Amino acid sequence: MSTEFRPPNLALSTVGLSLATFMQVLDTTIANVSLPTIAGNLGVSSNQSTWVITSFAVSNAIALPLTGFLTRRFGETKLFVWATLLFSLASFLCGIAQSMTMLILFRAIQGAVAGPMYPITQSLLISIYPPAKRGMALALLAMVTVVAPIAGPILGGWITDNYTWPWIFFINVPIGIFASFVVANQMKGRPEVTEKPKVDYVGLITLIIGVGALQVVLDKGNDEDWFSSPFIIVTAIIAAIGLAVFLIWELTDKDPIVNLRLFRHRNFRMGTLCLVLAYAAFFAIGLLVPQWLQRNVGYTSTWAGFAAAPLGILPVILTPFVGRYAHKFDLRVLASGAFLVMGATCFMRSDFYLDIDFYSVAMVQLIQGLGVALFFMPVLSILLSDLQPREIAAGSGLATFLRTLGGSFAASLTTFLWDHRAIVHHERLAENFTPFNPNTTQALTQIGHGDSQYAASSVNAMITNQAYQISFNEVFYMLGFVFLGLIFVVWLAKPPFAAKAGPAASGH
């Protein structure tokens, strides 16, 4: 057994790895607020422009579970450096794209090469830090995971307003080159054992078809009115068949491209379940709050961003403490505390109303940050704790893939529920507004000052707003119970929860 590898400068290595991951996670949300501008400049409809998000999400979801196979083939360091460089190149190509077709193609490439970056960052950080400080490394990565999606829309909006939209992609180029140079230089001499596993073509093809089709269904379902659309029906059938074949094949093949047998580990199984469900609920909050502020409360996208931003304050402040002292506690207690706080903030939002002030919205976001600060690092430690060192990159890739898919499910499901319940409440609220009701007639006269058409449209707008508010409150009430339910799930994991080092670190 060789001694554990330490890079010449641990701080610089951490900066390089974290910067690349921040850039990649940022890119999942940075384009969202710029879509109207991109659509206008490239001469396409706003509906077509959403493929800029979908193409990235689809190829990223496909690439993530392949991380284990790719690390066995190329080694973690080489794969990370090349993925980061190719991400920078794809970002540059996105910036110079002259048509929507080109932009969608380059975004798909960007999403694919981004796939292994986060899981490998996790694996490399665990391998280069001594056992006592691995919690700190995971806490730092958790902070990046939380802050980047919040910064994305704010930064994207600011760049689009003050410069031009291609710069949301161009800023990645110097960051990516710097990060890949630093990591290549610091990890030089890190021992890695590579092998040439046979390519599981059946697994690969069914993964691409199944996951690709499922991601399209989840991204486009709401726009196409779900199963009223032949396109969604056909795509859903393709996804179901592709995933069924993929699961059967991967569980029976000797050398599968995605190692689903990792779920034999109890902590990986329970930790991943907690990560996926909690992240899905967290993602739903991050999606609904800014939309509600803009659609119903009348905020601009910038002010909605500012109201949501306090979520990132406590994770940034508390990360060093969580990383340093978390190992002194049972990680299940910390995770339970996180779920309790996030559940409580959901119940607080279930009492929100249309005239609520900025301070109240921002304060609940700030309190939720405490839950987020305590969530990622303990759950990541739990799910990685009983994996073998050589399984960490594959396990991290698989868990991140399922987490991403959980976020997509949450985005589709909560948006659908919010809209659907709003329609139900609109019908109930409108029942009492009839020409035969003297109170209605009097109210319409007062509102419209004699203009009945204006009065009717004003009342309808008020009812719609109230219906969406009631629906918003219901969705958050449900999310609160999701978090409380996860407290029971996390206690099904069993200590010890120390993450093991990667293969190079222990000379495997």
CA–CA separation, 360 and 352 (whole Å): 9
Supply the CATH number for residue 449's domain: 1.20.1250.20
CA–CA separation, 223 and 47 (whole Å): 8
The DSSP annotation for 129-145 comes to S-GGGHHHHHHHHHHHH
Q: Is residue 419 in a domain?
A: yes
**Is the dihedral angle over the CA atoms 9, 10, 12, 13 positive or is it negative?**
positive
Report the pLDDT value the prediction gives residue 91, as an integer from 0 to 100. 92
Shared domain check, 233 and 154? no
CA–CA separation, 494 and 492 (whole Å): 7
CA–CA separation, 94 and 85 (whole Å): 14
Shared domain check, 89 and 171? yes
Q: Is residue 270 in a domain?
A: yes
Q: Is residue 163 in a domain?
A: yes
Q: Is residue 399 in a domain?
A: yes
Structure tokens at 371: 């839950």
Report the pLDDT value the prediction gives residue 395, as an integer from 0 to 100. 86
Q: At what angle do helices 392-430 and 358-384 cross, to 10 degrees?
A: 150
Q: Is residue 507 in a domain?
A: no
Shared domain check, 139 and 33? yes
Residue type present at position 452: S
Under the phi-then-psi rule, with left for phi > 0, alpha for psi from -120 to 50, and beta for the rest, what region is 176? alpha
Percentages of the chain per state (helix, strand, coil), in multiples of 5: 80, 0, 20
Domain count, the chain: 3
Q: Is residue 353 in a domain?
A: yes
Q: Quickly count: other Cβ atoms within 10 Å of residue 450's Cβ.
A: 8
CB 248 within 8 A of CB 375: no
Domain end marker among 168, 194, 220: 194
- Write down how long the chain is: 508
Domain extent at residue 44:
1-194
CA–CA separation, 316 and 466 (whole Å): 36
Q: How far is CA 128 from CA 145, 222, 226, 489, 502, in A?
A: 20, 44, 47, 31, 8
Pick from 85, 299, 83, 74: which is nearest to 176 by CA? 85
Phi then psi for 451, rounded to 5 degrees?
Answer: -95, 100
**Is the dihedral angle over the CA atoms 484, 486, 492, 498 positive or is it negative?**
negative
> With helix as H, strand as E and coil as C, how does 249-267 read?
HHHHCCCCCCCHHHHHCHH
Shared domain check, 368 and 298? yes
Q: Is residue 506 in a domain?
A: no
Shared domain check, 307 and 272? yes
Report the pLDDT value the prediction gives residue 450, as an integer from 0 to 100. 60
Domain end marker among 163, 194, 225: 194
Report the pLDDT value the prediction gives residue 1, as an integer from 0 to 100. 29
CA–CA separation, 178 and 132 (whole Å): 29
Shared domain check, 211 and 176? no
Residue type present at position 211: V
207, burial (CB in 10 Å: exposed 0-12, middle 13-18, buried 19+):
buried
Mean pLDDT by 10 residues, the chain (508 residues): 68 88 81 76 74 80 83 86 93 90 90 88 84 79 78 77 84 92 86 76 86 82 80 92 89 80 88 92 85 83 80 85 81 92 95 91 93 86 84 83 83 83 87 69 66 73 89 94 93 75 41
Structure tokens at 278: 């909690």
Report the pLDDT value the prediction gives residue 93, as an integer from 0 to 100. 93
Phi then psi for 498, rounded to 5 degrees?
Answer: -80, 125
Cis ω for the linkage preceding 131 (within 30 of 0): no
The residues near 68 (Cβ < 8 Å, ≥ 6 apart) are: 258, 259, 391, 393, 394, 395, 397, 398
CA–CA separation, 496 and 359 (whole Å): 42
Shared domain check, 373 and 252? no
The DSSP annotation for 162-195 comes to HS-TTHHHHTHHHHHHHHHHHHHHHTTT------
Domain end marker among 194, 217, 239: 194
Shared domain check, 208 and 189? no
Shared domain check, 224 and 187? no
Q: Is residue 508 in a domain?
A: no
Shared domain check, 366 and 350? yes
Shared domain check, 243 and 116? no
The DSSP call for residue 226 is: G
Shared domain check, 480 and 332? yes
